[in-house]
């Protein structure tokens, strides 16, 4: 309850407290006990009320069934995030530094989207530019409540769903994928190799195009359609399992199906009940095939609407919508251990592809930059049609950088990288447009 609502309630009820004869009154926003307000009748009333209250609690405790206990536990799992703040001089310093980078690299162009930068969980910069449809300048401005398709950035949430089930003992990440999909024809593929993109599976984004006559390009596929294609189309593997890193959206389409099979819930509902509702991510959700209508669309640099095709249907690899503020909640919930245990997060942030030297690597649903000076960035960008999403977390400085656009603009990624240096001394190059 806000202070304003509480004060109104106090004003309405202060007299009632006094007249109720319990000796309580508000003074300077504090509820205090004043013996002078009591008389014999009030004392008798207070005594009777206390006896009735104690008896009621005792009767409830004796008669309440044990089955009620899980409900109490579930209620306590709801996380309430309180906005954080920095000393004013620090907020001003970081705000001005971020503004300078944005003015030079992003805002002087035709940026259309959302920007949020935080330090220690406190927002130091937040700006919303343009409209949901950049062709129409006079209505539907982008606001803090505007949910964007976060594309591959959503893989961080899909992976967390799998890792949550692992923590609960409902699956093992070393399980063979064939355990969940009998007849799966690709040997050696495990849940873990899906998570770290070492499965060697073919990418449905490509073979749905090249396997002529097997799919109508204009028909949006489902996750089940992708699985069925792997089972029946005899598509060659891209590589042997666990031999090398190869980024592949097929992996996370299958992971969403595994979540559904293990949990017994549709993937959108599982994320809602497990993460979005408990964490208060009130503007985050998953869409299914053919549900794009009514949600923000994406555009080409010339403002032409980006057309949809078969690849827009599946979820898990994309199709999670969110806002910068919700992603900040996600970032803070991860940091504070509200989503996964420290041991599980350590596994998620471990680099698993070390065949080639370099600063780029991949964990379990997370990219990372491992700098020569021992600094580390944990991030996952997204790119889907005209949606460009940057989501970077600087663990050492406890900084978070979030940029969304729905009009194709690869400067989102290079600008996010330049913002690293606002908080620490970073070097190295990040590939343009890398998801």
HEC states along the chain? Answer: CCHHHHHHHHHHHHHHHHHCCCCEEEECCEEEECHHHCCHHHHHHHHHHHHHHHHHHHHHHHHCCHHHHHHHHHHHCCCCCCCCCCCHHHHHHHHHHHHHHHHHHCCCCCCCEEEEEEECCEEEEEEEECECCCCCCCCCECCCCCCEECHHHHHHHHHHHHHHHHHCCCCCCCCEHHHCCCCCCCCCCEHHHHHCCCCCCCCHHHHHHHCCCCCCCCCCCCHHHHHHHHHHCCCCCCCCCCCCCCCCHHHHHHHHHHHHHHHCCCHHHHHHHHHHHHHCCCCCEECCCCCCCCCCCCECCCCCECCCCHHHCCCCCCCEEECHHHHHHHHHHHHCCCCCCHHHHHHHCCCCCCCCCCCEEECCCCEEEECCCCCEEEECCEEECCEEEEEEEECCCCEEEEEEECECCCHHHHHHHHHHHHHCCCCCCCCCCCC
The per-residue pLDDT for range 303-343, each reduced to its tens digit, is: 999 999 999 999 999 999 999 999 999 999 999 999 999 99
Q: pTM (2 decimals)?
A: 0.81
User: pLDDT at position 79, please?
Assistant: 61
CATH architecture of 92-423: 3-Layer(aba) Sandwich (3.40)
**Residue numbers of the chain with a pLDDT score lower than 50:** 1-43, 45-47, 49-76, 428-429
CATH code 3.40.710.10 region(s) in the chain: 92-423
pLDDT score, position 32? 38
């Amino acid at each position: 309850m806000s202070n304003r609502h509480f004060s109104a309630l106090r004003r309405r009820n202060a007299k009632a407290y006094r007249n109720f004869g319990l000796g309580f009154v508000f003074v300077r926003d504090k509820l205090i006990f004043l013996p002078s307000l009591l008389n014999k009748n009030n004392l008798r009333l207070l005594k009777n009320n206390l006896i009735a209250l104690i008896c009621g609690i005792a009767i409830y405790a004796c008669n309440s069934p044990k089955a009620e206990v899980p409900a109490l536990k579930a209620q306590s799992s709801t996380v309430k995030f309180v906005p954080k703040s920095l000393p004013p001089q620090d907020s001003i310093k970081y705000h001005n530094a971020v503004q300078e980078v944005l003015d030079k690299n992003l805002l002087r162009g035709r940026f259309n989207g959302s920007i949020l930068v935080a330090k220690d969980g406190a927002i130091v910069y937040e700006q919303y530019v343009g409209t949901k449809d950049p062709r129409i300048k006079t209505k539907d401005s982008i606001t803090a409540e505007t949910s964007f398709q976060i594309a591959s950035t959503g893989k961080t949430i899909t992976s967390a769903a799998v890792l949550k089930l692992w923590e609960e003992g409902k699956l093992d990440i070393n399980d063979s994928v064939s355990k969940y999909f009998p007849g799966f024809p690709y040997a050696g593929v495990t849940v873990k190799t899906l998570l770290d993109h070492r499965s060697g599976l073919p990418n449905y984004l490509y073979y749905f195009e090249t396997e002529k006559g097997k799919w109508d390009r204009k028909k949006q596929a489902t996750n089940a359609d992708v699985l069925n294609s792997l089972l029946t189309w005899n598509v060659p593997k891209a590589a042997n399992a666990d031999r090398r890193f190869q980024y592949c959206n097929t992996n996370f389409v299958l992971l969403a199906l595994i979540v559904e099979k293990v949990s017994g819930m549709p993937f959108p509902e599982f994320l809602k009940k497990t993460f979005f509702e408990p964490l208060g991510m009130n503007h985050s959700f998953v869409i299914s095939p053919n549900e794009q209508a009514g949600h923000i669309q994406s555009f080409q640099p010339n403002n032409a609407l980006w057309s949809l095709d078969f690849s827009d249907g599946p979820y898990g690899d994309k199709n999670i919508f969110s806002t910068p503020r919700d992603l900040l909640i996600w970032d803070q919930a991860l940091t504070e251990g509200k989503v996964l245990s420290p041991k599980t997060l350590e596994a998620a942030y471990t680099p698993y592809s070390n065949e080639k030297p370099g600063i780029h690597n991949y964990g379990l649903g997370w990219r990372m930059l491992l700098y020569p000076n021992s600094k580390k960035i944990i991030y996952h960008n997204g790119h889907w049609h005209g949606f460009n999403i940057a989501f970077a977390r600087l663990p050492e400085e406890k900084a978070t950088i979030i940029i969304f656009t729905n009009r194709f603009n690869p400067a989102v990624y290079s600008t996010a990288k330049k913002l690293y240096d606002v908080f620490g001394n970073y070097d190295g190059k990040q590939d343009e447009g890398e998801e």
